Structure 1
Amino acid sequence: MKELERDLGLPAVLAISIGAMIGSGIFILPALALEIAGPAVILAYALAGLLVVPAALSKSEMATAMPEAGGTYIYIERGMGPLLGTIAGIGTWFSLSFKGALALVGGVPYLLLLFDLPLKPVALGLAGLLILINLVGAKQTGRLQVAIVVVMLAALGWFAAGSAPSVQSANYVGFFDSGLEGILAATGLVFVSYAGVTKVASVAEEVEDPGRNIPLGILGSLAFTTVLYVAIVAVLVGVTDPGSVAGSLTPVAVAAEATLGQFGVVAVIAAAILALISTANAGILSSSRYPFAMSRDRLAPPSLSKVSERFGTPVTSITLTGAVLLLFIAFVPILDIAKLASAFQILVFALINVAVIAFREGSAEYEPEFTSPLYPWIQIFGLVTGGLLLTQMGTVALVGAAAIIVGGVAWFFFYVRPRVDREGVATDAVRRRVGRDLLSETESAMNDSRREVLVALTKNLDADRERSLVSIAADLVRPDDGRVVVVRFEEVPDQAPLTDDLTVQSPSDRSFETRMASLSEELDVDVEADEIVSHDTKHAVVNFAENRGVDTIIAEHEPLRLRSRLLGDPIDWVVRHASCDVLLVDNLGYDLPARIALSSDGGPYPPLAVNVAEAIAKADGSKLSLWYPENSTESDQYKRTIDEYQSELSALLSVPVRSELFRADGGQPSTPDVVVRPGSDERLRNVLFDDGPVFPSPGCTTITVYQHESSRPRLGRRLLERVTF
């Protein structure tokens, strides 16, 4: 297999990074930003350079860990998964396309200083020519790029040095008149000036000593370019009359004419045209590779990754990118182009910072030679400031960023999700963190004592079903020498008064108490029997449980028809209003030794469900099977993490455990006697979809466990469990 020679040293890395930045950021944007922030545009450039540092550090780290990967989209897709990878890919594609359009729309006015030609047609013609060049496969050579960088730096250096003596301090009066909002808005606008700082990551595989040269190259070029931008903009503001440059299409040429004469103007024009055409060509070249890369990862149609046999280029991807570029040039004003380019770049840089956290916290192999200092605070700073800048950039930028996010999410669910089953390391990192927290909660729950359990008999049961409910309660309280309170609740019509004659025990009541006394001896627990008559059973159950201070209510619950689900069932009401945990039993009875299964609804096992299943299995001397839904579309990493989670859970339990998969259609690996499953408080979702597992019936008792809301995870945590598990 052929390998790339690592022959790019630090000077080459600096040249690549500086060359990718200097262009529209200095030849076009100062005039647009000056209209927003006035002289404080100088501070806006410095602040933008500072706010790029977190993304520069993050991408330096990822480039040294994955020098062969290349590309912002790849890092985010691998770190955050296909959903955010889709958003990042589309966002970066649009950002680079907008940057290419900005370079052409902003570069042509410099050319028109020498030739009297219409702006838009010339920009469209140049764009068409560059698209054609990319289609037939011609590329910039390294020497040409270095030459362009040298010419630009020479011209800009001459401009700055030659113009500095002409700076007038009066031009800086009212430096902060635009206020903080104006400075932040201008900072957001010029942010795209630094977009190329991380371009060197795309050639990381060719960099010698990447652990040293990549971060030094990226951070060194960022520092150099920031100082250069600030110096040139400071001179540009200082040598021109207040307001004369603001809004100009050729701000550097205007300033050069004021200090260096016609020869200086020609030199600046030559440098600007070279830089901007180079930037536009690089924009087309790099942006067209994003649909190409996304197509290879199955996030976009396969036609976008087809390479022309004749030209050796991805023709469809380049054509699509070129069409988008032409539309931007033809119909989007230059200020909006600049804002959208910056907005998308801010969005992508924010995702880069999150991706580093994902790689660090995830389980994937990740060994960077360079690690970002101040982790994770520097990444959080980059994420927060990126969001702050977006809010200050106006409606166009916010709508553009929102459109990319919404469009990316829609495309993911419409096209990507049916075709891609991999996930990012961030999802796995969150899943592992949630699993660890849940295991800690489960361990703590095992130490909780149950002093008293209420068995609520709300209808007439035969002796076997009655015994099953009391046996379950006995298994829960026995380890703590607790008590089982078995109460028969009788409901009388509202029009019937509650008189003393209703409290007289019937032969049935006395027989019930005799059976409970017999069960107390048989099960070796304290069983107390009682009877309660009321007008409303559900309120009576809840009131008794609260007044008595029981820890758990156990009641029988048969499967309900849709009408009962919609209109409500008394026991469902008890679940929502009880002051303690509730176990609802689909009671078909079981014999000992019982086969016990703990089922998952697709999420992790709640601590209370684990506790109940273990107590029953331990009391009956049974093995416990951990059921988990089988899903052939899940990634191998997902399956490994679930296996590890189940192994760690098994180690906490005091009974023999084995893991078994069950199918969503109800197929089970074995037929248990008792299944313990978590209940859901998402009532409407259960009513309409009821997508929980289908259990074997008849022949299986099912215990649905409802934790009291005080011990239930918060909504955010439940959402995390649902998404990651």
Structure 2
Amino acid sequence: MSAPDSQANREHRTVKLRRALTTPLLTLYGLGVTVGAGIYVLVGSTAAEAGAYAPVSFVIAATVVAFTAFSYAELTTRYPVSAGEAAYVEAGFRSGSLATLVGLAVALSGMVSAAAVAIGAASYLQGVIAAPHWVLTVAVVALMGAIALWGITQSVLVAAIITLVEVGGLIFVAVWGFGISEPLGVDFTDMLPPLVGQHWTGIGAASLLAFFAFVGFEDMANVAEEVKDPGSTLPKAIVLTLVIATFLYLATTAAVIVAVPLGDLTSSSAPLSLVFEGAPLAVRQGFSVIAIVATINGVLIQMIMASRVLYGLADQGHLFPAMAIVGSRTQTPVVATLLVMGVVAFLALALPIDELAERTSQIVLLVFVLVNGALIRLKCRGDGGPDHFTVPLIVPVMGALTSLLLLGTAWL
């Protein structure tokens, strides 16, 4: 089936998911998965690779993400459907099998990412609840899965409230690290690397981990069928998510490196809590609660995304029809969500957090290369009308090249 045919079919079929997401809600959705999924968990791992130059790794990752973010902004308005990446690749490359593989890769990246963040959430949670780590991990996955089944409006409202808490937590870290905590780490001027040297190998490797912290903005494409006025809402929410997340990451990472000795930071699975080690007990406990809330939010939103991708693929005829079953009361994809819950729990118990984060980054970067390639082909063929958000051809070209270059750092 050709891309135009599939688009026509999508336009005429009955909408099964509820359109309820506005620009503020969608931006908070993107921030929730982006912020919660990375910065609360992986600052230590990034510092282990890049040392004092960790903030530079976040700048590199943000640059790579920016080009692809604008490509997504155009593609989401061309094809505002669930399993968005699969639809983009099918339209660009006219290959249903490649589209299915891309959709499955996107769903897998969400499940792997959710597993990584679930491990981080359980690590923070152990500071409050004396229970085995694996028990807390499974409990986090089960609770977030139940909320995802509840309904898209309820799920995203819960995630939006949590996002406000976690963003406030990062601002608190930055203020405490720069202004209150004793500076036990490196000086701010030491974060700027020389232009040449072996340190760039470490910065490149750290950029791949830092990229994981930005994974999330593309998830907005996969709830496109639940967005009000997608042509206007999606581009604004994507750009806002990227800009806000970048500023938060730079401020937080710099503050942590100033306040915490690098040796302590690189060995911690709950790195941001180290900023408050000398703080009063009430402050330490308060931040622990914020960190727990922030990390479980990432699990929730990645599970929502993965289930919508599986639903979208099934609804377009690429997967078993059972995956497209939508609950009559909740209007959520029940079978797909239950499958996602099981896979996330298995991965969280089977693999360490650093490996999960790196695999997520690699999968997403491969998807970015194909998505940018699809937009290049669409533009070169002249497909599409003037009624969608448009970017210059150089944007997807740079998006594909920068994604390939960052992906190559895994083999340095």
Q: 1:25 is matched with which residue?
A: 38
CA deviations on 1:162-221 (whole Å, 9 max, x unpaired) are 221244674565864761121111111121211212333345567677555533332232
Q: 1:391 is matched with which residue?
A: 408
**Contact map agreement 1:155 1:267 (CA 8 A) in 2:** no
Q: CA deviation at 1:158?
A: 1.9
Name the amino acid aligned to 2:247.
Answer: V
Q: 1:181 is matched with which residue?
A: 201
Q: Which has the higher contact order (CA 8 A, sep 6+)?
A: 2
Larger Rg: 1
Q: CA deviation at 1:366?
A: 4.1
TM alignment of 1:526-541, pairs within 5 A: none
Q: CA deviation at 1:61?
A: 0.8
CA deviations on 1:318-365 (whole Å, 9 max, x unpaired) are 333222212211111111111111111111122221121122223644
**Contact map agreement 1:211 1:369 (CA 8 A) in 2:** yes
Is 2:270 the partner of 1:250?
yes
Q: CA deviation at 1:91?
A: 0.9
TM-score, normalization by structure 2: 0.85
Is 2:91 the partner of 1:78?
yes
Q: 1:491 is matched with which residue?
A: none
Q: What CA RMSD, in Å, does the superposition of the two structures yield over aligned residues?
A: 3.0
Q: CA deviation at 1:226?
A: 0.5
Q: 1:323 is matched with which residue?
A: 342
Name the amino acid aligned to 2:399.
Answer: G
**Contact map agreement 1:159 1:264 (CA 8 A) in 2:** no
Distance 1:261 1:24, change over 3 A: farther
Name the amino acid aligned to 2:404.
Answer: G
How many Å separate the matches in 2 of 1:8 and 1:313?
14
How many Å separate the matches in 2 of 1:234 and 1:99?
24
Q: 1:114 is matched with which residue?
A: 128
Q: CA deviation at 1:146?
A: 2.6
TM alignment of 1:703-718, pairs within 5 A: none
**Contact map agreement 2:118 2:141 (CA 8 A) in 1:** yes
Q: 1:97 is matched with which residue?
A: 111
**Contact map agreement 1:62 1:368 (CA 8 A) in 2:** no
TM alignment of 1:265-414, pairs within 5 A: 265-307=284-326, 313-362=332-381, 364-373=383-392, 375=393, 377-394=394-411
- Of 192, 215, 220, the residue aligned with 2:240 is 220
How many Å separate the matches in 2 of 1:315 and 1:279?
20
Is 2:256 the partner of 1:236?
yes
Is 2:35 the partner of 1:15?
no
Distance 1:149 1:128, change over 3 A: closer
TM alignment of 1:53-202, pairs within 5 A: 53-67=66-80, 71-80=84-93, 81-134=95-148, 140-165=154-179, 166-167=182-183, 170-171=186-187, 173=190, 176=193, 179-202=199-222
Distance 1:145 1:340, change over 3 A: same
Name the amino acid aligned to 1:360.
Answer: K
* SS of equivalent residue, structure 1 residue 159: helix
Q: CA deviation at 1:70?
A: 6.4
**Contact map agreement 1:359 1:366 (CA 8 A) in 2:** no
Distance 1:90 1:206, change over 3 A: closer
**Contact map agreement 1:200 1:218 (CA 8 A) in 2:** yes
Name the amino acid aligned to 1:48.
Answer: A
Distance 1:390 1:264, change over 3 A: same
Name the amino acid aligned to 2:103.
Answer: G
**Contact map agreement 2:56 2:203 (CA 8 A) in 1:** yes
Distance 1:110 1:78, change over 3 A: same
How many Å separate the matches in 2 of 1:187 and 1:41?
8
Distance 1:40 1:159, change over 3 A: same
**Contact map agreement 2:256 2:275 (CA 8 A) in 1:** yes
Distance 1:324 1:10, change over 3 A: closer
How many Å separate the matches in 1 of 2:150 and 2:24?
31
How many Å separate the matches in 1 of 2:146 and 2:227?
30
How many Å separate the matches in 1 of 2:236 and 2:151?
32
Q: 1:687 is matched with which residue?
A: none
**Contact map agreement 2:44 2:269 (CA 8 A) in 1:** yes
CA deviations on 1:576-631 (whole Å, 9 max, x unpaired) are xxxxxxxxxxxxxxxxxxxxxxxxxxxxxxxxxxxxxxxxxxxxxxxxxxxxxxxx
How many Å separate the matches in 2 of 1:321 and 1:6?
22
Structure 1 spans left out of the alignment, 5+ residues: 396-725
CA deviations on 1:464-520 (whole Å, 9 max, x unpaired) are xxxxxxxxxxxxxxxxxxxxxxxxxxxxxxxxxxxxxxxxxxxxxxxxxxxxxxxxx
**Contact map agreement 1:77 1:85 (CA 8 A) in 2:** yes
CA deviations on 1:642-691 (whole Å, 9 max, x unpaired) are xxxxxxxxxxxxxxxxxxxxxxxxxxxxxxxxxxxxxxxxxxxxxxxxxx
How many Å separate the matches in 2 of 1:328 and 1:342?
16
Name the amino acid aligned to 2:292.
Answer: I
How many Å separate the matches in 2 of 1:29 and 1:370?
34
Q: 2:7 is matched with which residue?
A: none
**Contact map agreement 1:34 1:247 (CA 8 A) in 2:** no
Name the amino acid aligned to 1:257.
Answer: E
**Contact map agreement 2:116 2:357 (CA 8 A) in 1:** yes
Higher helix share: 2
Name the amino acid aligned to 1:97.
Answer: M
TM alignment of 1:429-468, pairs within 5 A: none
Q: CA deviation at 1:385?
A: 2.0
Name the amino acid aligned to 1:393.
Answer: A
**Contact map agreement 1:57 1:372 (CA 8 A) in 2:** yes
**Contact map agreement 2:74 2:389 (CA 8 A) in 1:** yes
Deviates more, 1:289-298 or 1:30-39: 289-298
Q: CA deviation at 1:237?
A: 0.6
- Of 21, 46, 65, the residue aligned with 1:52 is 65
TM-score, normalization by structure 1: 0.50
**Contact map agreement 1:360 1:366 (CA 8 A) in 2:** no
* SS of equivalent residue, structure 1 residue 392: helix
Name the amino acid aligned to 2:242.
Answer: L
Deviates more, 1:321-330 or 1:74-83: 74-83
How many Å separate the matches in 1 of 2:151 and 2:185?
50
Distance 1:289 1:110, change over 3 A: same
How many Å separate the matches in 2 of 1:329 and 1:52?
26
Higher strand share: 1
Q: CA deviation at 1:60?
A: 0.5
